[in-house]
Amino acid sequence: MDEITAPPMACARFGIGEVVRHRLLDFRGVIFDVDPVFANSEEWYQAIPMEIRPSKDQPFYHLLAENGEGSYVAYVSQQNLVADEEDEPVDHPAIANLFEAFEPGRYKLRPQHRH
């Protein structure tokens, strides 16, 4: 009987709390969640221009992001992220809800309180 094996999965290069920058677009953010493979809608995926559309079989990161116009939540493929070299905090109003102190390059996740 043939053994069924799962397709290889890429390892996440970045972790929760790390500050990253988009490789092609002008924004940076702090990672607050990671999907091992694409987990957004097909409509969202198809809206990405074909010439820069990333592969679905890689980690995708949820970011509390900022750019020159404001703050927002972004969903970005691993291939489009690089480590941020600024060593500056990210300006996003939701950061205080999820993270504690900023250390160069990363935020420390707040401990969860269970009731």
Amino acid 1: pLDDT: 52
Please tell me the pTM assigned to this model.
Answer: 0.87
Q: What are phi and psi of 50, to 5 degrees?
A: -50, -40
Residue 92 vs residues 27, 48, 64, 69: alpha-carbon distances, Å: 12, 24, 6, 12
Q: What are phi and psi of 45, to 5 degrees?
A: -60, -45
Amino acid 5: pLDDT: 61
Quick one: residue 75, left, alpha or beta (phi over 0 = left, psi -120 to 50 = alpha)? beta
> Could you tell me the domains of the chain?
19-108 (2.30.30)
Q: What is the pLDDT along the chain (115 residues), one digit of tens a residue?
A: 556 665 566 799 999 999 999 999 999 999 999 999 999 999 999 999 998 899 999 999 999 999 999 999 999 999 999 999 998 999 999 999 999 999 999 999 998 755 5
